[in-house]
């Protein structure tokens, strides 16, 4: 701690050191990322509460040659909100967390520093409104929205970034602009998929929808007993998601030492049974629970705790993670995945999981958005796959990283001519810069660099994996 310089005193907005807490505890909490495996030492730490403060902080970094990084919820898997490396000036957006709904227009202004659980509750309390967002209540709106945002409404409502109408942005030269389809459209395109590299967003205007109240929440249990049984289930699921999964159905397969298949259906129980039963029988899934839930209970069913996020945020894990966004996995790739599971994962006693979110296909609102309307490069991905390996306590030994690296490689080696996409919101710290750029942004990367040169030619906003790094 001693070497940290919280030096922006001249700007008048230090990290709040309130009297009811030990100042060092507050500082320590601010510097503690969600992923404790990946910690960094900032050069300085600003907690602005006005746009002018953000402008001043950006100017301070730019004029002193200190790289500037915005932080919202601090949930980046690579701790990119703390810079992703030592020595950045961090702009902590926690005090930009207002949620204001215009019920007539069905729009909402939402600060990037809001955490999803609080934002969902505030939207609901203002005319039962909602947006499409991720499941974990502690995640910040900022990082989630600027790089994707997949959750329980995405198949019908799109990604979080698909619902942004407008963003207010402090640019590298400290000017404040609006980005939308009509104002600074190139910036708006780049922000929605690669936002961290282009400025500090101080507000999002979203389109909202009225929260659905009679939702079928399901969770089935599944214990594949062999590689071929897992391959059969995955083959059936992939085929269903690509060709038959309706927009009302959102779901995911969570493969771990206990495997679940869960989700939400926005429709009637009888329609749900008609759609699901043939799939369950093809996948070899039997028992489970199905219930009808209000909107807030639907969110709580997947939130791993209460929606409300109050006090000093102090939830953490220690993990290494990777992702794949396949448009299609060949039979060889599915076999390789399943064999690797059988040979290397089943016997692994750490808390690993492989999550398959049913992201795309011809019934998905994500896939229907045209490829060139945002910089998010994974419109056609059938699955959003997240590989996660964590320890309950203690440090993550780097010698464990080959476990997940090998699993991903087994799949990609089976389809050598395909550039598999990867999701920067599941940042993989083992990727080189070039690998990150190629897999996170695919064909959009070149245009992103052009927009970067236009809005941040001096690279005030930098990071180990972001655009232009």
Ligand X SMILES: Cc1cc2nc3c(=O)[nH]c(=O)nc-3n(C[C@H](O)[C@H](O)[C@H](O)COP(=O)(O)OP(=O)(O)OC[C@H]3O[C@@H](n4cnc5c(N)ncnc54)[C@H](O)[C@@H]3O)c2cc1C
Residues near ligand X (CB under 6 A) are: 34, 69-77, 80-81, 93, 112, 134-136, 139-140, 142-144, 146-151, 195-196, 200-201, 425, 463
If DSSP states are collapsed to H, E and C, what string results for 340-385? HHHHHHCCCCCEEEEEEEECCCCCCHHHHCCCCCCCCCCCCCCEEE
End-to-end CA distance of the chain: 28
Cross-strand bridge partners of residue 322: 387
Rounded CA gap, 443 and 445, in Å? 6
Site for ligand NAG in 124-183 (CB under 6 A): 171, 173, 175
Residue 252 found at the interface with ligand NAG (CB under 6 A): no
Stretch that binds ligand NAG, among 31-39, 94-102, 297-305, 406-414 (CB under 6 A): 94-102
Whose Cβ is closer to ligand NAG: residue 149's or residue 224's?
149
Query: Which of positions 35-64 make contact with ligand NAG (CB under 6 A)?
Result: 49
Closer Cβ to ligand X, 158 or 247, answer by number = 158
Residue 418 CB neighbour total at 10 angstroms: 15
Binding partner at 71 among ligand X, ligand NAG, none, C-beta below 5 to 8 Å by kind = ligand X
Among 52, 66, 98, 273, binds ligand NAG (CB under 6 A): 98
Nearer to ligand X, 196 or 285 (CB): 196
- Contact 46/86 with Cβ under 8 angstroms? no
Residue 312: CB minimum distance to ligand NAG, A = 8
- Alpha-carbon span 217 to 291, nearest angstrom: 5
Tokens of residue 195, six digits: 């936002």
Q: How far is the CB of 100 from ligand NAG (least distance, A)?
A: 8
Q: Which residues of 422-455 are buried (b: 16+ CB within 10 A; e: fewer)?
A: bbbbbbbbbbeeeebbbbbbbebbebbbebbeeb
Q: Could you give the CA distance from residue 412 to residue 329 in angstroms, rounded to a whole number? A: 9
CB of 136 to ligand X, least distance (A): 3
Q: Between β-strands 107-110 and 200-207, what pairing exists: parallel, antiparallel or unpaired?
A: antiparallel
Nearer to ligand X, 193 or 463 (CB): 463
Contact partner, 175, from ligand NAG, ligand X, none, Cβ < 5-8 Å per class: ligand NAG
**CB of 161 or CB of 230, closer to ligand X:** 161
| Contact predicate 77/321, CB 8 Å | yes
CB 449 to ligand NAG: min, Å: 14
List 6, 7, 14, 16, residue binding ligand NAG (CB under 6 A): 16
Q: Smallest distance, Å, CB 455 to ligand X? A: 12
Enter the tokens of residue 258.
Answer: 């206990």
**Candidate segments 30-38, 89-97, 130-138, 274-282, binder of ligand NAG by CB under 6 A:** 89-97
Question: Which of the listed partners (ligand X, ligand NAG, none) does 425 bind, with a CB threshold of 5 to 8 Å by partner kind?
Answer: ligand X
383 binds, among ligand NAG, ligand X, none (CB under 5 to 8 A by kind): none
Strand partners, 17: none
Which of 356, 388, 455, 461 is the binder for ligand NAG (CB under 6 A)?
Answer: 455
Comparing CB distances to ligand NAG, the nearer of 173 and 344 is 173
Nearer to ligand NAG, 317 or 327 (CB): 327
- Taking a C-beta distance cutoff of 8 angstroms, is the pair 76, 143 a contact? yes
Residue 379 interacts with ligand NAG (CB under 6 A)?
yes
Q: In angstroms, rounded to a whole number, what is the distance separating the alpha carbons of residues 127 and 397? A: 48
Contact residue for ligand NAG among 95, 135, 219, 294 (CB under 6 A):
95
Sheet with 176-179, side-by-side order of all strands: 99-102, 107-110, 200-207, 164-170, 176-179
Of residues 134 and 363, the one with the C-beta less far from ligand NAG: 363
Q: In whole angstroms, give the CA distance from residue 41 to residue 220.
A: 43
Site string (232-251) toward ligand NAG, x via CB under 6 A: -----------x--------
Instruction: Order the strands of the 318-324 sheet from edge to edge.
Output: 288-293, 215-222, 259-265, 249-255, 351-358, 383-391, 318-324
Instruction: Report the interface residues with ligand NAG, using CB under 6 A.
Output: 16, 18, 49, 94-96, 98, 111, 171, 173, 175, 243, 362-363, 371, 379-380, 454-455
């Amino acid at each position: 701690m001693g070497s940290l310089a919280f030096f922006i005193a001249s700007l008048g907005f230090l990290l709040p050191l309130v009297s009811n807490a030990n100042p060092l505890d507050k500082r320590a909490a601010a510097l503690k990322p969600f992923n404790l495996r990946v910690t960094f030492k900032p050069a300085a730490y600003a907690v602005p509460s006005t746009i002018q403060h953000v402008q001043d902080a950006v100017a301070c970094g730019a004029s002193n040659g200190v790289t500037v990084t915005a932080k919202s919820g601090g949930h980046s898997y690579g701790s990119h909100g703390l810079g992703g490396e030592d020595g950045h000036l961090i702009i902590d957006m926690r005090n930009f967390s207002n949620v204001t709904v215009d019920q007539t227009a069905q729009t909402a202004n939402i600060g990037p520093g809001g955490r999803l659980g609080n934002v969902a509750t505030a939207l609901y309390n203002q005319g039962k409104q909602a947006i499409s967002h991720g499941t974990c209540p502690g995640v910040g709106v900022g990082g989630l929205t600027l790089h994707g945002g997949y959750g329980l409404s995405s198949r019908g409502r799109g990604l979080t970034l698909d619902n942004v109408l407008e963003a207010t942005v402090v640019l590298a030269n400290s000017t404040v602009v609006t980005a939308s389809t009509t104002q600074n459209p190139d910036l708006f395109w780049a922000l929605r998929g690669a936002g961290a590299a282009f400025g500090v967003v101080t507000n999002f205007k979203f389109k909202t929808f009225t929260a659905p109240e009679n939702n079928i929440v399901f969770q089935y249990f599944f214990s594949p007993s062999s590689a071929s049984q897992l391959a059969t289930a995955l083959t059936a699921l992939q085929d269903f998601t690509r060709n038959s999964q309706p927009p009302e159905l959102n779901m995911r397969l969570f493969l771990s030492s206990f495997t679940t298949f869960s989700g939400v259906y926005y429709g009637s129980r009888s329609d749900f049974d008609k759609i699901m039963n043939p799939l369950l029988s093809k996948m070899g899934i039997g028992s489970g629970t199905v219930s009808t839930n209000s909107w807030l209970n639907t969110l709580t069913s997947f939130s791993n705790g209460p929606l409300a996020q109050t006090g000093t945020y102090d939830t953490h894990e220690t993990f290494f993670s990777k992702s794949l966004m396949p448009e299609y996995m060949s039979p060889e790739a599915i076999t390789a995945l399943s064999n690797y599971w059988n040979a290397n994962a089943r016997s692994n006693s750490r808390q690993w999981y492989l999550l398959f979110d049913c992201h795309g296909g011809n019934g998905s609102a994500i896939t229907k958005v045209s490829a060139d309307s945002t910089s998010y490069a994974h419109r056609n991905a059938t699955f959003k796959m997240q590989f996660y390996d964590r320890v309950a306590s203690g440090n993550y030994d780097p010698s464990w990283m080959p476990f997940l690296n090998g699993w991903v490689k087994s799949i990609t080696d089976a389809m050598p001519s395909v550039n598999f996409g990867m999701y920067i919101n599941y940042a993989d710290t083992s990727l080189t810069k070039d690998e990150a750029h190629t897999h996170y942004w695919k064909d959009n990367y070149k245009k992103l660099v052009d927009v970067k040169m236009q809005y941040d030619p001096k690279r005030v906003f930098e990071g180990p994996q972001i655009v232009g790094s």
